[in-house]
Structure 1
Amino acid sequence: MTHIIRSVRQDDWTRAKALRLDALRDPIAHLAFLDTYEQAAARPDEFWQDRAAGAAEGRTSRQFVAEAADGRWLGTVSVLVERSGTETFFGDVPEVSQTHIVGVFVRPEARGTGLTQELFRAALAWSWSLAEPRIDRVRLFVHEDNPRAEALYAKVGFKRTGFSISAAKQPTSSEIELALLRA
């Protein structure tokens, strides 16, 4: 499978929207994403344009996609910057500046090909390249009922930290934090 890994550009917003909607249709989307297809589909074009512009700019977030030779987008991963001493989306306050990987999705036909690891390599390279803030760790959360995703993240080097939060859609379930420290 021939593809390239690249950052999303501002004018990619319609493709970014389409891929996100496809991700939210995945059978395990209820475990992997805080969003629903219905919520995302109802958002105006301006939302998607702003999202793509922010991810393309890369100051507080960056989105990477795997693009096939024919132009199809096969997968994506997004990275959010979380500064030390600043409350995050999940209400915790990191002691060190870190990035947070979210929105991981690879189309079924590209799963098991190493594509996800390539997307993660791009996300990690971008994270470690930041000068301000200097990133000391990269984290992500995985639902306790998603061992396949956790195994994949372990292959990339992520390890459980012991920190977890209640799953937003299932308060009786947990989202487990995994992290990778700067070498």
Structure 2
Amino acid sequence: MSSIIRRVRNEDWGRIKEIRLDALRDAAASIAFLETYEQAAARPDEFWQARAATAAEDISVRQFIAEATDGRWLGTITAFVEQPGGQGALEGDIIDVAQTHLISFYVRPEARGSGLAHDLIRAAREWSWSLAEPRIERVRLFVHEDNSRAEAMYVRAGFRHSGVALPVPGDDTRREIELAVLRG
């Protein structure tokens, strides 16, 4: 399956919304997101426009998409910089080194198993390592403890368990498991 990996642009806001809603409707992927389809669908266009602008222009955030030769979006991943001393994405998550956090990762069912997931991760990692300030020391992500398929893919992509497990927001009975890659 032929595609290009590129950064999103401001004018992509409608497609950013579309792929996010598709991900939230996907039974195999919805466990990976901390919002529901109904929550995302209720957001006004201005939210999606602002999200696109941040991902297209901000130097500390990068959203990549995999675009097929026919223009279809096959997948997406977002990386954002976390600074030492800051609060991380989940409660109890304290940042101790400059790192990027990978979120909103989704590959459409027809592109799964094609290597596209690894291509998106590679783009996010290469961007992370390319940053001069701050110098990124690790790239990390969280995976729901019941999402063994995604966890196995992340391990194949070079991520290792860090030993950190935090409660899923809104459900203290479930855990998000941190996996990370250290700067080589």
The residue aligned with 1:171 is: 172
Quote the Cα distance in structure 2 between the aligned partners of 1:40 and 1:95.
31
Partner-residue secondary structure (3-state), 2:124: helix
1:168: Cα distance to partner? 1.9
The residue aligned with 2:34 is: 34
Contact 2:23–2:30 (CA<8 Å) still a contact in 1? no
Instruction: Point out the more displaced range, 7-16 or 81-90.
Output: 81-90
Quote the Cα distance in structure 2 between the aligned partners of 1:89 and 1:77.
16
Contact 2:90–2:169 (CA<8 Å) still a contact in 1? no
For residues 62-104 of structure 1, give each alpha carbon's deviation from its aligned partner in whole angstroms, at most 9, with x where no partner exists. 1000000000000000111100111123242211100000011
1:169: Cα distance to partner? 4.3
Query: Partner letter of residue 162 of structure 1?
Result: G
Residues 1:76 and 2:76 aligned together? yes
* TM-score scaled by length of structure 2: 0.96
Counting matched residue pairs gives 183
Partner-residue secondary structure (3-state), 1:87: coil
Q: Unmatched 5+ residue regions in structure 2?
A: none
1:117: Cα distance to partner? 0.2
Contact 1:34–1:169 (CA<8 Å) still a contact in 2? no
Residues 1:103 and 2:104 aligned together? yes
Residues 1:55 and 2:45 aligned together? no
* TM-score scaled by length of structure 1: 0.97
The residue aligned with 1:130 is: 131
Partner-residue secondary structure (3-state), 1:99: strand
Quote the Cα distance in structure 2 between the aligned partners of 1:165 and 1:29.
20
Query: Partner letter of residue 163 of structure 1?
Result: V
For residues 100-156 of structure 1, give each alpha carbon's deviation from its aligned partner in whole angstroms, at most 9, with x where no partner exists. 000110000000000000000100001011111110000000011111101100111
Contact 2:143–2:177 (CA<8 Å) still a contact in 1? yes
Query: Partner letter of residue 66 of structure 1?
Result: A
Query: Partner letter of residue 125 of structure 2?
Result: L
The residue aligned with 1:145 is: 146
